[in-house]
Structure 1
Amino acid sequence: MPASPRRPCLVIRPDDSSSDEDPPSPTRLKKKVVFADDHGRPLTQVRIMTEPSNVPPLWSHKFLAEVTQGMSAEPVAHGEPWEITFQQPASSYIEFRKKLDQEKVTLENVIVKENEEILLGTIKVSNLAFHKEVFVRSTTNGWKTSEDIFCKFVPNASTNTVSAAYVLYDTFSFKLTLPPKSRRIEFCVCYKCEGKEYWDNNGGLNYVIVKKVQNKFHRSNSDEFLSVKSSEVEKMHRTSSFDVIQTINKVDPWSEFACWNHVDTSNPYW
C-alpha cells in the first residue's frame, strides 16, 4: 500500500484583511501551524455531541451487544437475611460493666456477615487467672444437639505494656457458621477459669438470631408497587410542612434553633 503523500506542517494563508483589489503581499501572509502524524494525517478528531451534557450518550444495540457479550442484567437472587433479636450488650456501657463485674463473663458485640454466612462476635471476661478457656455453645434445633466453638484471645495494647496481673478484662473472639437451611440459632457463652465455670445466657433467654421475615407488602414482580391516594400524600406533605413551620416560629432568633435538641436519645448512638 503506497504511503500517503506528506504535507507540510507550516501552512501559509493569505490575510483576510487585505483588499480584494490589491494582490496579496508576502509580508502580509498569516502563518498557521498544523500538527500531523508521520503520514501527514491530523492528530485530533472533532466529534459533535448531539445530546445535552446532562443526558447519557445514546448507544446503539450493536455497541451494547459488543460490550455486554450476551450477559443480561437479571437481578441476583439472595437468601433471606439474618436478624439479631437482642440488643448489643456493649451498647449500654454501665449495664455491660456491671454484668461483667458480677458474672465475670459477658457477650460484647456480634456482627452478621451475610455474604460469608458467618456470625462474628467478641466476649469480655474478668482476668481472674492467666489460664482461661472461653467457648460458645450453639444449637440450631432447640438444644436437641449442640456444638462448642472455642474462642481466640485478642491481645490489646495494654496487654503488651502492662503486666498481665494488672489487666482487669480480657477479650476473646469467635466465629459461628450460619447453616443455610437453618432459620434459628441460639447460643450462650462459657468461661472456665481455676476449675470454675461462668456462663452468660442472656438472663436465661440465650442469644438468638433468626431468619428475617420478609415484609408482607413485598412483591415478587418489580413492576408492582404499593398505591397511595394522592389526597393522602398531599395531606402528609401539608402536615409535615405545618409542623416544621410551627417549630421554626417558636424559635427567636433563628440561631437558637438546634436540630440536635429534637433527636431521640432513648436508643444508643452507633
Structure 2
Amino acid sequence: YRCSQAKGTSVCATLQPPPVIRRKVSFADAFGLNLVSVKEFDNAEATEPEPSWSNGRNIVKAAEEIYLSCLFTVPSSTEELDQRLGEQMVELESIELLPGTTTLRGIVRVVNLCYNKTVFARLTLDRWSSYFDLLADYVPGSSDRKTDRFTFRYTVVPPFEKEGTRVEFCLRYETPMGTFWANNKGMNYVMFCHQKAQVKEGVTQTEEETSSYKSKRSCLKANR
C-alpha cells in the first residue's frame, strides 16, 4: 500500500504482488511412453589389433627366456644321497630356476645331528675374488628324524653375459658338534644362467600411417 501527494491531492494505490508461476511436471508413462530408452552398442573393429610403434626404437617381440646349465649332478637316487650324507653330513639335493623368474632355489639335505643347526650357501660370481653367504631356511615338516631339509634362494640380476652368468657355490652346515661342508668333491657347484636370443624388430611409424590408423578408429556404433 502506497500513498503519494501531488498539488494538494492525496492519491493512494494498492501494490499487487507479482504473479506466481506454477510448473507442472509430467512423466513419459502418463502419455503411454517408456520411462527408459535402451540402446545397444557393439565394439566396431574389435578384431583389429592396435599397432605398436616406438618412433624407430627396437621392440622386443619375444619374451626373454632364462635357462640353467650345470657342471655338476645331484644324487640320482636315495641310496646315493644317503651315501653322500654319510660321508659329509650335508648334500645338495636339488637346484632349479623358478619358472618365469631369474631366481635360483636350492634344496639342501643335512643329517639331524642335533636340534640347533644352521645351513649356509656360500656364493661367488667372480671365481672367489669375493663371496657372500646366504642363510638357508628350514623346510617345515621335512624332518624324518634322521635328516632335515633346508632351502635357499638367490636371484640372478640381468643382463647376463654372452656365455652365461657364472654362479658358483658350496654348502656349510654348522652344529655344536662341528662344521661340515659340501662342495661337489672339491670342485664346487658351478652353473651358468643363460638368456635365449631375443627376437627384435625395428619398427618406425610414419605420420601418414598414424593418421590412417586414427581415421579408422570408431570405437562404438549404435545398433539401429
Same fold (TM over 0.5): yes
Match of 1:106 among 86, 91, 94: 91
Give the Cα–Cα distance (whole angstroms) in 1 for the partners of residues 142 and 173 of structure 2: 23
Aligned length: 167
Q: 1:124 maps to which residue?
A: 109
Q: 1:203 maps to which residue?
A: 185
Any gaps of 5 or more consecutive residues in structure 1?
7-37, 40-58, 160-166, 222-270
Match of 1:64 among 47, 53, 56: 47
Closer, same or farther in 2 for the Cα pair 1:210/1:157, shift >3 Å?
A: closer
* 1:152-180 Cα shifts (integer Å, max 9, x gaps): 11121657xxxxxxx11011111112121
Q: Is the 8 A contact 2:60 2:200 kept in 1?
A: no
Give the Cα–Cα distance (whole angstroms) in 2 for the partners of residues 213 and 179 of structure 1: 12
Q: Given residue 177 of structure 1, which amino acid in structure 2 is its aligned partner? A: T
Shift of 1:198: 0.9
Shift of 1:88: 5.0
Shift of 1:205: 1.8
Q: 2:176 maps to which residue?
A: 194
Closer, same or farther in 2 for the Cα pair 1:219/1:76, shift >3 Å?
A: closer
Q: 2:5 maps to which residue?
A: none
Match of 1:97 among 74, 78, 82: 82
Give the Cα–Cα distance (whole angstroms) in 2 for the partners of residues 105 and 116 of structure 1: 27
Shift of 1:82: 3.1
Give the Cα–Cα distance (whole angstroms) in 2 for the partners of residues 196 and 86 of structure 1: 29
SS of the residue corresponding to residue 212 of structure 1 reads strand
Give the Cα–Cα distance (whole angstroms) in 2 for the partners of residues 85 and 158 of structure 1: 28
Give the Cα–Cα distance (whole angstroms) in 2 for the partners of residues 94 and 128 of structure 1: 19
Give the Cα–Cα distance (whole angstroms) in 1 for the partners of residues 136 and 142 of structure 2: 19
Q: Is the 8 A contact 1:88 1:110 kept in 2?
A: no
Q: Is the 8 A contact 1:80 1:211 kept in 2?
A: no
Give the Cα–Cα distance (whole angstroms) in 2 for the partners of residues 101 and 219 of structure 1: 49
The aligned runs of 1:70-81 (5 Å cut-off) are 70=50, 72=52, 76-79=61-64, 81=66
Could you tell me the TM-score, scaled by structure 2's length? 0.58
Could you tell me the TM-score, scaled by structure 1's length? 0.49
SS of the residue corresponding to residue 148 of structure 1 reads strand
> 1:142 aligned to 2:135?
no
Closer, same or farther in 2 for the Cα pair 1:71/1:207, shift >3 Å?
A: farther
Q: Which has the higher contact order (CA 8 A, sep 6+)?
A: 2
Give the Cα–Cα distance (whole angstroms) in 1 for the partners of residues 124 and 136 of structure 2: 17
Q: 1:133 maps to which residue?
A: 118
Shift of 1:124: 0.4
Give the Cα–Cα distance (whole angstroms) in 2 for the partners of residues 87 and 141 of structure 1: 18
Closer, same or farther in 2 for the Cα pair 1:129/1:213, shift >3 Å?
A: same
Any gaps of 5 or more consecutive residues in structure 2?
1-27, 35-42, 54-58, 202-224
Point out the structure with max Rg over C-alpha: 2
Match of 2:194 among 212, 222, 247: 212
Give the Cα–Cα distance (whole angstroms) in 1 for the partners of residues 104 and 86 of structure 2: 26
Shift of 1:79: 4.0
Closer, same or farther in 2 for the Cα pair 1:157/1:192, shift >3 Å?
A: closer
Q: Given residue 176 of structure 1, which amino acid in structure 2 is its aligned partner? A: Y
Shift of 1:185: 0.6
4+ residue segments displaced more than 6 Å: 218-221
Give the Cα–Cα distance (whole angstroms) in 2 for the partners of residues 205 and 140 of structure 1: 15
Provide the alpha-carbon RMSD of the alignment: 4.1
Give the Cα–Cα distance (whole angstroms) in 1 for the partners of residues 200 and 52 of structure 2: 19
